[in-house]
Chains A and B, each alone.
Chain A
Amino acid sequence: TQLLEQSPQFLSIQEGENLTVYCNSSSVFSSLQWYRQEPGEGPVLLVTVVTGGEVKKLKRLTFQFGDARKDSSLHITAAQPGDTGLYLCAGVWGTYKYIFGTGTRLKVLA
């Protein structure tokens, strides 16, 4: 049973636009991670958020963990073609169990 829903599933935008990706669950997680995956490669970690309400910034990417630690969002400002990829959120249960979201496939057009 998939416990993490991501939206939107697909997103195609022009270079310079802003976008937000959502990751929602009915479960509470110890922490939540965001990964980006390029074609033919495995996912690579972007950030981990641990505390409810936490906000982390990574250059043009802003990650937020919901107050109740059940949801998260990823906001990209002024998207660039290099941001193109599959974005995955992963909720962490306990000490070693990960549940991955369904993924958001982003394409940024030049």
Chain B
Amino acid sequence: NAGVTQTPKFRVLKTGQSMTLLCAQDMNHEYMYWYRQDPGMGLRLIHYSVGEGTTAKGEVPDGYNVSRLKKQNFLLGLESAAPSQTSVYFCASSYGTAYNQPQHFGDGTRLSIL
């Protein structure tokens, strides 16, 4: 009963380093999302995907790239990490049209950029 799995759970990077966060879902959901959560800011959408091979920008996309080569996976990349990208990152997925569907979240990746 995995649902949405995020790896890694924690990571510390130095400014300028790159890394990829992996999100995997086993619910056959079409839609997948990447959010960042900062104190007092709620969840802000970075990028999202409405199906395999498609991606779109969300509210705060700068400094991030994404790929959805397989339906079950959604990758978030940081090409050159900056301290402002220190945050907790959440991946979510949902089924079909979302107006009455829940988003299922992973447990997050806590990322610190020094």
Contact = CB atoms under 8 A, between A and B. Distances in A.
Contacts of A44: 105
Given A30-B99, A33-B102, A50-B99, A96 B48 contact: yes
A48 B90 contact: no
B89 to A, nearest CB: 10
Interface residues of B, number: 27
A97 to B, nearest CB: 8
Contacts of B105: 41-44
A92 to B, nearest CB: 5
B41 A102 contact: yes
Contacts of A100: 35, 42-44
Contacts of B59: 1
A90 B50 CA distance: 18
Interface string B35-46: 100001111110
B100 to A, nearest CB: 5
B108 A101 contact: no
Nearest to A29: B99
22 contacts: A1-B59, A2-B42, A6-B42, A9-B40, A31-B99, A33-B102, A43-B90, A48-B102, A50-B100, A90-B43, A96-B50, A96-B94, A96-B97, A97-B45, A97-B98, A98-B33, A98-B103, A100-B42, A100-B44, A102-B40, A103-B40, A103-B42
